[in-house]
Amino acid sequence: MKNMNLGQQLVEYFINNGMYVLQQFSRHFLISIYGVLLAAIVGVPIGIWISRSKKLSDVVIGIANVIQTIPSLAMLSIIMLGLGLGVNTVIVTVFLYSLLPIIKNTYTGMQNVNEDILDAGKGIGMTAFQRLRFIELPLSMSVIMAGIRNALVLAIGITAIGSFVGSGGLGDIIIRGTNATNGAAIILAGALPTAIMAIISDGVLGFLEKKLDPSRH
């Protein structure tokens, strides 16, 4: 590969290692998705809960903000002490970093629901759960989706760093490139699919966010 330019080296790497790159791409995406899904399962109910109390929201969002300020490598190292090397450490790290955008956007979406619509729901005899299910959640869903979108793009970057603790993924290819002589093509073979994954994920969730926006219907 020494006599080839960078583009040729990259193409040759994909030809020779295409299945390996595809496997790591899939692994990377699944790790990111698992962490964000867990954060959504926990974060959306928390966001709904704190939307009922201003004092509670300040405390919970403040804690989530503190978690967000911890550097990702430091967070991985701390969690690794308890869970050891591997995928679980990265999923928990992604989960923690995803909480802030999901909780904050859920809280914001719930707060922005028009009070007149809620009063109309009360007036026709809807229970609190019915108002949540049929009014508040549908009207705030696009804002919640925006939080999940931000969380997933962030998660893809964190998962790349997670290869330092043995989780695999596209970051593993990047690390191999940094350890190789003339490894620029190998680094690109890991970095380009990571960037493409983030762009596609952002685009798909952005499309869903617009579809769920009640102002567009």
Residue by residue, pLDDT tens for the chain (217 residues) are 555 688 888 899 999 999 999 999 999 999 999 999 999 999 999 999 999 887 888 899 999 999 989 999 899 999 999 998 989 999 999 999 999 999 999 999 999 998 888 999 889 989 888 999 999 999 999 999 999 999 999 999 999 999 889 898 999 999 999 888 778 899 999 999 999 999 999 999 999 988 887 766 5
Q: How far apart are CA 43 and CA 48, in angstroms?
A: 9
Q: How far apart are CA 215 and CA 119, in angstroms?
A: 20
What count of other Cβ atoms lies within 10 Å of the Cβ of residue 28?
28
Identify the pLDDT of residue 28.
96
Residue 85 domain-assigned? yes
Residue 9 domain-assigned? no
Looking at the chain, the number of H-run helices and the number of E-run strands are 9, 0
Nearest residue to 35 (alpha-carbon basis) of 119, 159, 125: 159
| Number of domains present in the structure of the chain | 1
- Which residue, chain included where needed, has tokens 């967000």? 68
Residue 126 domain-assigned? yes
Which residue range is the domain that position 67 belongs to?
Answer: 18-216
Residue 106 domain-assigned? yes
Q: How far apart are CA 91 and CA 36, in angstroms?
A: 8
Residue 5 domain-assigned? no
Is the pTM higher than 0.85? The answer reads: yes
| 143-161 b/e (C-beta count within 10 Å ≥ 16 → b) | bbbbbbbbbbbbbbbbbbb
Residue 98 domain-assigned? yes
Q: What is the CATH number of the domain that holds 184?
A: 1.10.3720.10
Identify the pLDDT of residue 212.
84
Residue 2 domain-assigned? no
Residue 28 domain-assigned? yes
